[in-house]
Structure formats: C-alpha cells, structure tokens
Chain A
C-alpha cells in the first residue's frame, strides 16, 4: 500500500491522537487487569449471570427485529419522499440519540405505564407493559431505532433512486422494486445499522431501569445485573463487564469490518454514476 504517501499531519496532532486512544483504551485495560481470572468462569456462569445474559440477548434480538421492521420503512420515507416538516420529523426521530436514557424511560413510563397516556386502554386489553420483559424491549427499541434509521438513510441517499427508476420502467411494481432492487442495494447499510442497534440495545441501562425496573429473569438485563453486583460482589461485576466488552468488540468488528471483495468491487460502479438529479429530473 502507499505507506510512503505524504500525510501532512503535524506532530502535536499525532500526540493528541495518541492521547485520545489512551482515554478510550486505558480504562478498559484497567478493568481487564482487575479481572479475577481464577474465578472468572464460575463468576460469569452463575445462575443470575446466565439469566441476565440470556435475557439481554433475547430482548436485544427482539428490539433489533423491531427496529428493522419499523426503521426500514421510516428510513425509506425520510430518504426518498419529500413532504412538509420532513426536517422536523427527522430531528424528532433522532432525538433518542441525544436524550439521556433515563428521560426516555420516564417518557415511556408516562406513555405505557398504568397511569400513562395509553395505560388505561392497554389495561382494558389486558396488557400491562411497564415492568415486564416487553417494557425492556420497548425501552431498547426507543433508544436503538435512530441508529438503524441514520445508517440506513445514509445508505439510501448514497445509492440514489436511479436504479429504482430503471426497474420501474422495466415493468417492476413498487413492491418488486423494493424487494429486488432497493433492499439488496442497501443491505450493507442495513446490516451495519442493525448491528449498531443490537449493540445499543445490549448496553441499554437508564431507560430500562426507569421503565422496566430490575426483576431477575424478567427485566434485569446484563447491564442492570452488573450495576447490582458492583455493590455486593465487585469481582462478578468486573467479570460480567468483560463479557459485555467482548460482545461489544465483536459487534464493532462486525459492523466496521472491511467490505467483502464482492461488495467493494460492485460498490465502485454503484456509486460512480452522477447524482440522481442529473438524469431523473
């Protein structure tokens, strides 16, 4: 590769960049050093730990599915449609990204809780969402949805709508175009968006605690279990944290891995044509 190419980065910038890495990596390292390796396996395989891990994985998978189900249509509408107040809608949808999760939890509580906006209606239907596993999934979906929407909308905008236009003139109805052209073209964006949503769901703490509480086996996900253990058994907390770090590393590696050969090859041509307005005006 072109390692000899002139980069033009000043020395002090490099130094600060190294410092940035230290800020991120040093705490992780400190935690790893603190792990009681002899007790590691028993600690992470204790009944409460396994229950929490299982619950975390199940709820995160469910909320990721929910994010895909709701986020794909939303991203498509935001990227391809033009309508009034579109910018406002986009900002609203992205709000959970910057909102403190505990605020999200309170908002959810006053929507789905017994005293909440929909509480009475749900009660009549025999549904009690707050402090149930469903609440965990809802809280996770609330905070994770923007991740999927943002990355998918970006992918949709990059690929443009020219392929869709061609597909339509070839006689494909909108449903066929969506299934056979749009989705395959943005699959990489969708995949990385889904992985990010899953990661965000897995790490969800504040909204879950506020809206779902901390009932073992029902709403106590791994982050809640770690927080609880920290007071009684710090060794277990550290060991479980390491498990979450391992999962996070795997997720990041999956989301940001170098594109596969086929994708990078076709990607060149995919993005090469001039922006959509050139031709499909």
Chain B
C-alpha cells in the first residue's frame, strides 16, 4: 500500500523518484519552477511525463518505460487534488459539491448527501451546506473543498499549496483542520510554509531544478539542511565547499572553521560538505577581529531589514542578526564593507 513514482519530463528538466509509505504525509518544498506542480500533475494524471512509471497501492498509474505503455486516466487513479483555490463548482451548493465524487462513483443520491453532510460537519462547515460557493469566504470555501476531496475517498490526497491563498485569519484554523485530516492519511502537500511542513508532514522533500535536492524527516532537514533552499527555510547561513578537517574549504579558497557533527566523516578527502550557522551567531565588526577560534570574512552589505526586534544585516547569501543599537553605532548602510565574525563553535560542519 505504497506510492512509488518515478518520472522524467524532459521539457521541464524534471526527473524525480519518490516513494510515499502508507499513512505517510510528505511535504514537497522548493523554489518556484522547481517542479512541485509538475510532480502533483503527473501523479494526478493531468500531465503525461515522457518516461517513468508509478504505482499506487498495487495499481499502475502509468508505465511509460515498458513495451506495453499504460496510462490510467485521472478518474481511475484515486488521487484527489486540492489546489490553492478551492475551485468549488460554482453552480452547485456546498453539499452538492461535496457529494460530487461519490455521485460520480455511482453512490445513490440520498446516501451521497448524508455522507457529504457528515464530512461537512467534520470540517465545521455543516451550516454552509445549502450555500453557493459565491456566498462563501475564502476559508469557508477551502473547508468545503477539503470535505469534497475527502468524500471521493482518495487513496492518495494531493494538496497544492492549500493554505497559500487564505488570509492570515483563516489559515491557522485550516492548518489545524489539515493536521486532523492528514493524520494517518497518505498525502503529498506542496507548501511554501515551513510551518506546514513541521505541523502536517512526517517527511519533507526539497525539490530544486526538477530534482530532489534532499529529503528526510522535517526536523532533521531543518536542523541539518543539505541544500541551500532548506537552509533558507530554517533561516540558517549555508556555505557549501569541500570538507577540510573540522572545516569547509569554499571554491573561492576561504576556509570556515567549525565543529564536526559526526567524527570521522572527513576521512574521505575532498568530500563535499557544508558549514551552517545561524545569523544570530554572527557579529559585525568594522575592523578585522581575530582571536579565539573565529572565522572572519570581509563582506559588502547588500540590505538591512527589520527582523523581530533585531536588525538583519544581509551580505549576499549570508546574514547576521544584530541589535538596532549596534547597527546604529556601526553606522551600517548598504554598500558598506564590514567583517562578519562567527565563532568556530557556532558553526556546524557536515558532509552532504
């Protein structure tokens, strides 16, 4: 009872292999154009990959590799898709929208309606049963859309940024709803919000340029990111290079000293690795400051922006968080050349 998926869409540089275990919810994250929607569309049958094969619970979704090519149409796949917009059928009432799936499967009208009303109650939208979609708020409509997707009793639920179009008031309510609904359910959720990944998913898959950059339990990925995208999600500075003892040597020849997360991994020479440290561990100096094991690099400030009660000093892909007072004392402005200093003890170094 597993989804196994492997597909190539040459035109989009998409080449992904993914497995979702029974009852597992996988979050898919990545920059725009990384192939997240291509992944969902291929699984749902709305897009035909060039090659690959996929199986859901023993049923072949598509097999474009073998001699005998097979392609199951979307309505035979049991993969309900919930998009950013609710896309409720505007000519049907909320309850008729929810009973659409069961009715299509041949469930008698009365049974489908009873089932729909129970599902609407589950998503706290029972009172909206008779309403037309145009009369619903964004959050209400999305709740009804959740009930509609569940009513189809999908083997795999596909969620394409289901919270992205909601205002900040309805998103938390819906996130709680998803937490309840997705528990023990096989689902793939595409999201931009690290909170969704943490709360809703067992595992996160980071897509970059049509390929899986890294995957693993959400917590582990955020704590020890191996891709710059995941580091960005976790709000960490991320410097890739080759491992060099307890440090990382960048392609520019800069060595960042840190502490090794796992001893002995640098035994293989020229192994690729990263140095990762939080912006709060970075101090900003006007002059070069050396001393106890520290890293100091000369950078040019690109941006200053408020970050909580701190000021985030950005220099290219690196960031430092300092107090507004310190920023004022140093007279920081974009374009200025300063030194970012970080203690080696605050830098994690590990292989990728």
- Bound CA–CA A42/B311 (angstroms): 91
Task: Report yes or no: B38 in contact with A279, Cβ–Cβ below 8 A.
Answer: no
Chain B, 24-64, CB within 8 A of any chain A CB = 37-38, 41, 44-47
Q: Which of B75, B105, B132, B135 meets A168, CB within 8 Å?
A: B75
- Bound CA–CA A187/B90 (angstroms): 12
Chain B, 175-199, CB within 8 A of any chain A CB = none
Q: A266-B90, A281-B41 are in contact. Are A172 and B75 (CB under 8 A)?
A: yes
Task: Report yes or no: B134 in contact with A269, Cβ–Cβ below 8 A.
Answer: yes
Check if B240 is an interface residue, CB within 8 A of chain A. no
Check if B22 is an interface residue, CB within 8 A of chain A. no
Check if B152 is an interface residue, CB within 8 A of chain A. yes
Q: A162-B87, A265-B134 are in contact. Are A171 and B152 (CB under 8 A)?
A: yes
Interface residues of B, CB < 8 Å — how many? 38
Task: Report yes or no: B104 in contact with A170, Cβ–Cβ below 8 A.
Answer: yes
Task: Report yes or no: B84 in contact with A279, Cβ–Cβ below 8 A.
Answer: yes
Indicate the size class of the contact surface on chain A: 20 to 34
Check if B79 is an interface residue, CB within 8 A of chain A. yes
Shortest Cβ distance from A160 into chain B, in angstroms?
10
- Bound CA–CA A107/B56 (angstroms): 56
Task: Report yes or no: A181 in contact with B75, Cβ–Cβ below 8 A.
Answer: no
Task: Report yes or no: B132 in contact with A266, Cβ–Cβ below 8 A.
Answer: yes
Q: Chain A's interface: helix, strand, loop or mixed, by majority?
A: helix
Task: Report yes or no: B152 in contact with A266, Cβ–Cβ below 8 A.
Answer: no
Check if B230 is an interface residue, CB within 8 A of chain A. no
Task: Report yes or no: B46 in contact with A185, Cβ–Cβ below 8 A.
Answer: no
Task: Report yes or no: A185 in contact with B91, Cβ–Cβ below 8 A.
Answer: yes
Task: Report yes or no: B47 in contact with A281, Cβ–Cβ below 8 A.
Answer: yes
Task: Report yes or no: A273 in contact with B87, Cβ–Cβ below 8 A.
Answer: yes
Check if A39 is an interface residue, CB within 8 A of chain B. no
How many A-B residue pairs have C-beta atoms within 8 angstroms? Tell me.
Answer: 98
Task: Report yes or no: B74 in contact with A169, Cβ–Cβ below 8 A.
Answer: yes
Residues of B close to A279: CB separation below 8 A = 37, 83-84, 160
Apart from A265-B134, A281-B37: 5 A-B pairs, beta carbons within 8 A: A171-B75, A173-B104, A187-B91, A266-B134, A269-B133
Q: Which of B38, B46, B77, B151 meets A165, CB within 8 Å?
A: B46
Shortest Cβ distance from A240 into chain B, in angstroms?
41
Q: Which A residues form the contact surface with B (CB < 8 A)? A: 162-163, 165-174, 176-177, 180-181, 184-185, 187, 262, 265-270, 272-274, 279-281
Q: A173-B104, A281-B41 are in contact. Are A166 and B134 (CB under 8 A)?
A: no
Residues of A close to B202: CB separation below 8 A = none
- Bound CA–CA A180/B37 (angstroms): 26
Task: Report yes or no: A167 in contact with B133, Cβ–Cβ below 8 A.
Answer: no
Q: Which of A162, A165, A171 meets B104, CB within 8 Å?
A: A171
- Bound CA–CA A172/B38 (angstroms): 22
Q: Which of A169, A265, A273 meets B79, CB within 8 Å?
A: A169
- Bound CA–CA A269/B135 (angstroms): 10
- Bound CA–CA A165/B40 (angstroms): 12
Task: Report yes or no: A172 in contact with B91, Cβ–Cβ below 8 A.
Answer: no
Closest 9 CB pairs of A and B: A172-B104, A168-B74, A266-B90, A170-B101, A169-B81, A266-B134, A184-B91, A265-B134, A170-B152
Centre residue among B41, B74, B79, B149 by max chain A CB count within 10 A: B74
